[in-house]
């Protein structure tokens, strides 16, 4: 109430009893029945499970159905429909002249229902459908309505054909972008696995020297294992949720690099100084590496691969078991 007064409304009352209180005070209630005389919008109601379907919703539904139909049609099918509209309209102009009701005028004379008249009618239909309109042939009478309908329908279908060509070109470009991105992703995985392998080898050498401070050794190890866990997750996604299937030589190289990194990790962990200790963060990273690697095996992944690849997968799983 106070908010309504602040907004400038003066004739405001509060009915504590709700609708019943409104009725007792003499308030009018209009019927919501579709057949009620006091409901001018009753014609817009449709019985669909007892729900009211607004005209806007029906229009959107029709538009979506039309767009879905156009999307399902191929470019050749739409082109055939476009040509069919042109030819059928041309035949309709010629039939009108054939039955004695000329629909077209050329140079001030009615186009006759002869064979040359059919050619003129088809020519006018093409000119009309492409919205060129030279003006040498003119429609008369009801043929004007047909010419307008033909123009609108032909331009809509022609626009859909052009949109199909543009959409196909866009799909080709997007597919090419995805391919290039996928190749770069595979290259990055291979490069990072080699870097992780080199880093783990360097950390093993640091463990043997015993001259590197423990905090520096732990931070370097944690950084290397974070990268390793990330690339291992990428390899896991390539096997379980592949956007595209990598070629066998590339995948074999990735699996071989992953197995080599796991072997080096196992060797490096055995050389860690006993007094270094393992932080909770490092334990969590190692647990994630072990968990992801255990899910890589020839019988675990949902796709079937060549025997040489399954051997590498089983090798990775065996190393993961030893690591855990």
How many independent structural domains does the chain possess?
2
* Same-domain status, 179 and 196: yes
Burial of residue 213 (CB within 10 Å: 0-12, 13-18, 19+) is exposed
> In whole angstroms, what is the distance from residue 292 CA to residue 236 CA?
7
Q: Are residues 209 and 249 in the same domain?
A: yes
Dihedral-angle region of residue 166 (phi above 0 means left; psi in -120 to 50 means alpha; beta otherwise):
alpha
DSSP label of 42: G
The structure tokens 């078991």 sit at 321
DSSP state of 43: G
Residue 39: the pLDDT is 45
> What residue spans of 99-142 are helical by DSSP H?
115-129
pLDDT for residue 259 = 94
Q: In the block, which residue shows the tokens 């992703």? A: 185
Give the domain extent around 125. 74-168
65: in domain: no
Tell me the per-residue pLDDT of 2-50, one tens digit each, with 9 for 90 and over: 666 656 666 667 666 666 666 776 666 655 444 444 444 444 444 444 4
Residue 138, SS3?
strand
Cβ of 84: how many Cβ atoms within 10 Å?
11
Model confidence, pTM: 0.53
In a domain, 93, yes or no: yes
**C-alpha 70, offset from chain centre:** 17
Q: Is 34 inside a domain boundary?
A: no
Has residue 16 been placed in a domain?
Answer: no
CA dist 44 and 227 (Å) reads 63
Say if residue 118 is in the same domain as residue 132.
yes
- Give tens-digit pLDDT for 188-246: 999 999 999 999 999 888 887 767 677 888 888 899 999 999 999 999 998 888 777 78
Q: What whole-number distance in Å separates Cα of residue 68 and Cα of residue 80?
A: 18
The token pair that represents 75 in the structure block:
């470019």
State how far the alpha carbon of 284 is from the alpha carbons of 225, 229, 281, 288, 289, in Å: 10, 10, 5, 6, 9
| Residue 149 predicted with pLDDT over 90 | yes
Mark which of 141, 168, 195 sits at the end of a domain: 168
Look up the CATH number of the domain holding residue 79: 1.10.287.70
Among 251, 208, 253, 204, smallest CA distance to 224 is for 204
**pLDDT for res 65:** 77
Question: What is the b/e burial string over 5-37, where b = at least 16 CB atoms within 10 angstroms of the residue's CB?
Answer: eeeeeeeeeeeeeeeeeeeeeeeeeeeeeeeee
What pLDDT sits at residue 29? 65
């Amino acid at each position: 109430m106070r908010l309504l007064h602040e907004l400038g409304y003066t004739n405001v009352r509060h009915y504590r009893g709700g609708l019943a209180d409104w009725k007792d005070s003499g308030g009018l209630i209009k019927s919501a029945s579709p057949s009620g005389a006091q409901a001018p919008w009753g014609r817009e109601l449709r019985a669909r499970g007892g729900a009211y379907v607004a005209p806007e919703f029906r229009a959107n539904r029709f538009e979506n159905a039309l767009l879905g139909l156009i999307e399902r049609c191929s470019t050749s099918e739409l082109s055939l429909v476009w040509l069919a509209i042109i030819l059928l309209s041309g035949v309709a102009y010629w039939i009108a002249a054939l039955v004695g009701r000329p629909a077209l005028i050329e140079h001030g004379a009615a186009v006759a229902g002869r064979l040359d008249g059919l050619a003129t009618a088809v020519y006018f239909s093409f000119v009309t459908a492409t919205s060129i309109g030279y003006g040498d042939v003119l429609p008369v009478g009801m043929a004007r309505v047909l010419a307008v309908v033909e123009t609108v329908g032909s331009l809509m279908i022609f626009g859909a054909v052009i949109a199909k060509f543009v959409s196909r070109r866009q799909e080709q470009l997007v597919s090419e972008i995805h391919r290039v991105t996928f190749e770069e992703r595979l290259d990055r995985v291979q490069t990072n696995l080699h870097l992780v392998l080199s880093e783990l080898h360097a950390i093993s050498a640091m463990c043997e020297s015993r001259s590197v401070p423990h905090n520096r050794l732990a931070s370097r190890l944690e950084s290397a294992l974070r990268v390793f866990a990330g690339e291992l997750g990428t390899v896991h996604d390539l096997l379980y949720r592949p956007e595209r299937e990598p070629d066998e030589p590339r995948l074999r190289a990735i699996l071989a690099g992953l197995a080599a990194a796991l072997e080096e990790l196992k060797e490096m962990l055995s050389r860690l100084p006993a007094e270094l200790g393992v932080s909770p963060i490092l334990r969590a990273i190692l647990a994630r590496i072990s968990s992801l690697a255990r899910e890589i095996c020839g019988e675990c992944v949902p796709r079937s691969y060549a025997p040489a690849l399954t051997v590498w997968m089983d090798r990775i799983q065996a190393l993961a078991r030893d690591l855990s």
